[in-house]
Amino acid sequence: MSFPLTENEGEITIFAMNRAEDDMALECVINGFGEYDVIEHIVMCDEDKYAMNDAQTPDRVVPAVADDVKVENGLCKATLKPLSWNVIRLKTINQ
């Protein structure tokens, strides 16, 4: 996982991948950065693990918005879908 911090804008972006074939709980401690709220959670996955984009179905697997991220008490929690790529964006509420 990667956690780049853009201090100028007060945002944290979390990139996370779930390579398992089951849901995965994600918990990230972010209490050293101030208080944050969720901007968005973008997920890319498909129920069919063999799904792919090709000439016949160029938009089969595309990014979608998820709404399962919660931030409380310095902890960011989310459930990552199986075989998924995720971007979670947080913004400080102290600025």
Can you give 52-66 as a three-state secondary structure string?
Answer: CCCCCCCCCCCCEEE
5: confidence class by pLDDT, cuts 50, 70, 90: low
69-78: pLDDT as tens digits: 999 988 999 9
Given a cut of 60, is residue 3 above it in pLDDT?
no
Give the per-residue pLDDT at 6.
Answer: 59
DSSP classification of residue 83: T
Residue 30, pLDDT score: 85
For 35-53, the pLDDT digits (tens) are: 899 999 999 999 999 999 9
